[in-house]
Amino acid sequence: MQSAAQPTPIRADGDGGPERQQIEQLLRDAEIETVLAELDEQLIALTPVKTRIREIAALLLVDKLRRELELSSNRPTLHMSFTGNPGTGKTTVAMKVAEILHRLGYIEKNKVVAVTRDDLVGQYVGHTAPKTKEVLKRASGGVLFIDEAYYLYRPENERDYGVEAIEILLQVMENERDNIVVVLAGYKDRMDNFFQSNPGMSSRVAHHIDFPDYTVDELVMIARLMVKREEYELGPGAEEALRSYLDRRIQRPLFAHARSVRNAIERARLRHANRIYEATLDGMLPTREDLVRIEPEDILKSSVFGLDRHDETPPGATDAPV
């Protein structure tokens, strides 16, 4: 696992005076390295993202230190844009950002309120403002995470009420930036168009972080972590089967990276459980090894290999067959 570059240690002058004690106490209380270490442990790869989050954390920590020592300090702009494909860790990183902001006193509560257009935009005149304001009230003191934020703006529909939601968000992002941090998320190309069409929104977002796609090798590493956390293991040949599955699945529509890996593991667990159950019907009681080991056949029966075509995701689901 790759780790982001380590920051240069902050050193205080003096020989144990009150200023040094203030700095040492603040560093102990914040425990930012603990949060960053958790982020590094929980997310495979994503080195550019981890590096950027570390830089933001360092900026906020130094700003906090300056304020503690009554040096000139202006609160940094904290609104962010996370761009990338589904399943690349945007929501997880948003939660870690919220924890860092809370530890350093930039938000009152360590919470993330995740919403989409449907939570903000109404269906008729006079409906959008109350919905948007209610969401902002729920997110007050924390982080508001708006997924697929570009759907708020639909210029092709003259009667669309998304513009009203955007106007309210702009006011809050400017006038209440000490009380709420907004993270806008979605596909990069669509977010770029969204910001071009809404320069007021673009001017309020200071940090643009792009989440790269995972490679197949990285997806296999993610699968290992997921399996281990559930107290399963991949039996002989199962990891090779999983890699073969991912080589095929990544080419198919609606691939969602870590989310698709999780779905694949869940389907493998279902096939594993069915295999164990059918064995018990034949009088064979499972051993501990049987209960924890996922075999190649539990993966190779996926419809991606064209072996059981009934194993299809229902229409309208967010992920394709696994």
- pLDDT in tens for each of the 322 residues of the chain? 444 444 444 444 545 566 777 777 777 777 888 999 999 998 999 999 999 999 999 999 889 888 888 888 788 899 999 999 999 999 999 999 999 999 989 999 999 999 999 999 998 888 999 999 999 999 999 999 999 999 999 888 777 899 999 999 999 999 999 999 999 999 999 999 999 999 999 999 999 999 999 999 999 999 999 999 999 999 999 999 999 999 999 999 999 999 999 999 999 999 999 999 999 999 999 999 999 999 999 999 999 998 444 444 433 444 544 4
Query: Strands 181-186 and 112-115, how do they pair?
Result: unpaired
Identify whether the C-beta of residue 63 lies closer than 8 Å to the C-beta of residue 71.
no
**Is 204 within 8 Å of 110 (Cβ atoms)?**
no
Put residue 148 in one of left, alpha, beta given phi > 0 → left and psi -120 to 50 → alpha.
left
Residue 94: how many CB atoms within 10 A of its CB? 21
Query: In the chain, which residue ranges form alpha helices assigned H by DSSP?
Result: 18-30, 32-42, 47-68, 90-103, 117-120, 128-139, 162-175, 188-197, 199-204, 216-229, 238-249, 258-281, 288-292, 296-300
